[in-house]
Amino acid sequence: MSPTYSPAAEELLDGLMGETETYRQLMSLTQSERSALQERNLTSLAEIVRQKEAILANLMEGEKTRQQLVARLTQDIGLPGDASLSDIIAALDDPLAQQLARLRQELTDLVDQLLSLNHGNHLLLKAELEQVEATFNYLMSATFSHDGHYSANGEGTPQAAPGTVLNWEV
Amino acid sequence: MLDRIQPKVPASYLNDMSRLEGKPEAARGGARQTDNAAAEVSLSEEALAMQRAMQAVKNAPDVRTDVVERIRNEIQAGTYKINVEALAGRLLSFLK
């Protein structure tokens, strides 16, 4: 296949550069998430998760835009619609092909690292929640194992059931 | 005058009280100890359980139950991990 050019290729390069930047932000947040998990700061963790969700929504939008762009580009340069970036690079002229190849490598490394970090965080979070739950259960059993009624003499003075207040025996 | 109404407490008694100050109920039982042994053992166990609970509260992280609940739901639903993995997976498949 002879190298060719499409304006959509420039747009794809810009789009992927934008995605790379957003993935860097996601990576940074995922690293903060790891710190929050290690510090057992669930309040900070919740804020990080909220920010991650916003970035993920942003990335999903970026993905839609990229898919439309790739559809246009592959049509321009005569490739099948499901062509990979490697296929596209092979069909493009330098320096655009080289720029895309560099970006492809950078993005691949970044996403690999992100997946690994995210997987570790997921395991840490599961362990943390199990511990929190166990602590709650312990506290609940230690605190509420009695009837909860207290008198001047301390805990344990039974409270009359409704309707039995006057049914006392001498 | 005041002494007649509230006689001075013997020094030996005060010493005994100061020694027992802050000790569990069981240690202050004296003569009652024999009669109420079972109840006091039970009370000590409860005090110990409460002490352990308080220690657990001290050691527990700063937790907001609504936050914990939300994250736990996300983990159970699989969205916490899958969102990132699905998105990254689709990108990696394009980058091949």
B15 lies in a domain? Answer: no
Task: Identify any residues that bridge with A150 across adjacent strands, giving them in sequence order.
Answer: A155
Task: Identify any residues that bridge with A155 across adjacent strands, giving them in sequence order.
Answer: A150
B96 lies in a domain? Answer: yes
Can you give the pLDDT at residue B27? 47
- Choice among A4-13, B9-18, B71-80 with the minimum mean pLDDT: B9-18
Contact A35, B63 (CB under 8 A): no
- Which uninterrupted H or E stretch holds B35? helix B32-35
Can you give the pLDDT at residue B40? 65
Among A49, A134, A50, residue whose Cα is nearest residue B61:
A134
DSSP 8-state assignment for residue A152? T
Domain of residue B69 covers 63-96
Query: Is cis: bond before A7, omega within 30 of 0?
Result: no
Question: What confidence tier does B34 reach under pLDDT thresholds 50, 70, 90?
Answer: low
Nearest to A139 among B56, B61, B88 (CB): B56
The residue of chain B with its CA nearest to that of A118 is B81
Q: State the Cα–Cα distance between residues A78 and B69, nearest whole angstrom.
A: 51
B11 lies in a domain? Answer: no
Contact A16, B43 (CB under 8 A): no
Contact A46, B71 (CB under 8 A): yes
Pull the structure tokens for residue A27. 């990576």
Can you give the pLDDT at residue A134? 79
Measured between CA atoms, how close is B71 to chain A, in angstroms? Answer: 7
B90 lies in a domain? Answer: yes
B48 lies in a domain? Answer: no
B32 lies in a domain? Answer: no
Measured between CA atoms, how close is B55 to chain A, in angstroms? Answer: 10
Specify the higher pLDDT residue, B35 or B1: B35
**Would an 8 Å CB–CB cutoff place A54 in contact with chain B?**
no
Can you give the pLDDT at residue A15? 93
**Cα torsion B13, B16, B21, B26: sign:** negative
Can you give the pLDDT at residue A107? 96
Contact A27, A35 (CB under 8 A): no
| Residues of chain A below pLDDT 70 | 1-5, 142-170
pTM of the predicted model as reported, rounded to 2 decimal places:
0.61
Measured between CA atoms, how close is A84 to chain B, in angstroms? Answer: 5
**Would an 8 Å CB–CB cutoff place B11 in contact with chain A?**
no
Distance of CA A78 to the CA centre of its chain: 37
Is the pLDDT at B16 greater than 70, yes or no? no
Specify the higher pLDDT residue, B55 or A80: A80
Output the CA angle A126-A131-A132, nearest 5 degrees: 100
Is the pLDDT at B82 greater than 70, yes or no? no
Question: In sequence order, which residues have a C-beta less than 8 Å from that of residue A161 and are 6 or more positions away?
Answer: none
> Which ipTM did the prediction report?
0.72
The residue of chain A with its CA nearest to that of B75 is A126
B79 lies in a domain? Answer: yes
Task: Identify any residues that bridge with A151 across adjacent strands, giving them in sequence order.
Answer: A154
Q: Please report, rounded to a whole number, the percentage of residues in chain B having pLDDT higher than 90.
A: 8
Please classify residue A147 by burial: count the beta carbons closer than 10 Å to its beta carbon, then call 0-12 exposed, 13-18 middle and 19+ buried: exposed
The residue of chain B with its CA nearest to that of A120 is B81
Nearest to B68 among A52, A53, A132 (CB): A132
Can you give the pLDDT at residue B35? 59
Question: Based on the structure, what is the number of domains in chain B?
Answer: 1
B83 lies in a domain? Answer: yes
Cβ within 8 Å, pair A63-B62: no
